[in-house]
Amino acid sequence: MNLLLIGVNHRTAALEDREALALRDDEARALLTRLVAPGLLQEALVLSTCNRIEFYAVADSPADAETHIRKAVLALRDRDLLANEDQRYLLTGNDVARHLFRVACGLDSMVLGDVQILGQVKEAYTLARESGSAGVVLDRLFETALRAGKRARRETAIGTGTVSMASAAVESAEVELGSLRDRDVLIVGAGETARLAARHAAQRRPRRLVVANRHLDRAAQLAASVGGVATSLEDVPTLLSSIDVVFSATRAPAPLLFAQTVRRAMEVRPERRLLMIDLAVPRDIDPEAALIPGVTLRAVDSIQVVVGHGLEQRAAQVPTVERIVDDECGRFDLWWQGLGATPVVVALREHFERIRLEELQRLRTASDVERERADRLTRSLINRLLHVPTLRLKTDAASDAGHRRLAAVEELFALSQGARPHDA
């Protein structure tokens, strides 16, 4: 088996290309079902955020797996969105683990130490498990990634200041407008990014904070938590005429705010500036809105990441976080090497178990108490006898010496021949 990662991120692909590839949860589920196929991909997982779209896979042939993933994306989007070799990156083996662990620790984010990415990694893993596309390897890989991310936040100050794209957007808005105090702020959406944007905006004491969402109950819940008011998406066109800054972060598949809607709002407020910050991928706001006089539109890639308090402290933590990544990579590598020994270890234990059960059959005339005692003793004996050999077989199983040890055990106990105990 081989680990494979193919993807794009904010460093390799433009926003237009990432939003074309971005997947909603229902699309990701459908794609995962298509990806797992006998002889091609044993396991698959997709991580889709505003900064990255990455496909993780376990396959016999990385080349065949890459082709299979690209064909699946082509079938879904009618475009080979992974064709551009200058935009995509392709990793295999240990490089996949190291990349993912750095992502989970916030080292590969647009905002160093981004607190949201760990939750996004967990959501992607949960979705793959629910879809049945994550198996033994991806389970271990992502459980280790989540542990690495938690360690980074617990053992270092990489998350100082509760940094995220949402907090960076709010800081950027303050730079643009001078202050959000006594401003009218609109939050479009009620998911995690919108929640963070609302919380950080509320701390700046705006004059009015409005939360608009497709589901009014979710808008009301978020608005209540930040001292704002809730409204529906249908009210947004009217609201725009009295709003100073918009933070939009939904998971809609197409724009919610069209240039014509923004233009009509600006006609009744020609002297009042409107700042619109679009944190969604795909985008919520029509890019043409940027051409309207008085409107400043910032998409996720053009947000000014402000050097706010704590950035120097976070940057100083990077070497320590990298050591956590190294540590977790070492643990995963040991597990991965031992994985190759699993069939032999299982066969060896089954061989000894067959012998044990046959010997217990000799106690037909013994009492139930004696048989139970014999069963416990023989189980304990076999576990103790096989403990060290099992560790030795799993240690460095992928090396030449490891292969020789595995072959010797198979030969000594005739494991590959399916020998019965009395044959041994």
Q: In Å, what is the CA distance from 69 to each residue of 33, 79, 85, 129?
A: 12, 12, 15, 18
CB 341 within 8 A of CB 393: yes
The single residue listed with the structure tokens 């794609």 is 31
Cβ-Cβ contacts under 8 Å for 343 (sequence gap 6 or more): none
CB 410 within 8 A of CB 418: no
The question of whether 329 is a catalytic residue gets the answer: no
The whole-angstrom separation of Cα 273 and Cα 266 is 9
The whole-angstrom separation of Cα 397 and Cα 357 is 29
Q: In Å, what is the CA distance from 318 to each residue of 115, 129, 156, 164, 330?
A: 15, 31, 9, 17, 18
Residues 302, 307, 313, 318, CA torsion sign: positive
Give me the catalytic one of 50, 163, 190, 211: 50
- At 408, which amino acid appears? A
Pick left, alpha or beta for residue 221 (phi over 0 → left; psi -120 to 50 → alpha; otherwise beta): alpha
Query: Which pairs count as long-range contacts for 215-220, CB under 8 Å and 24+ apart, including other chains?
Result: 215/190, 218/190, 219/190
Spell out a b/e string for 186-219, using b for 16 or more CB atoms within 10 Å of the CB, else e: bbbbbebbbbbbbbbbbebebeebbbbbeebebb
Q: Which residues are known to be catalytic?
A: 50
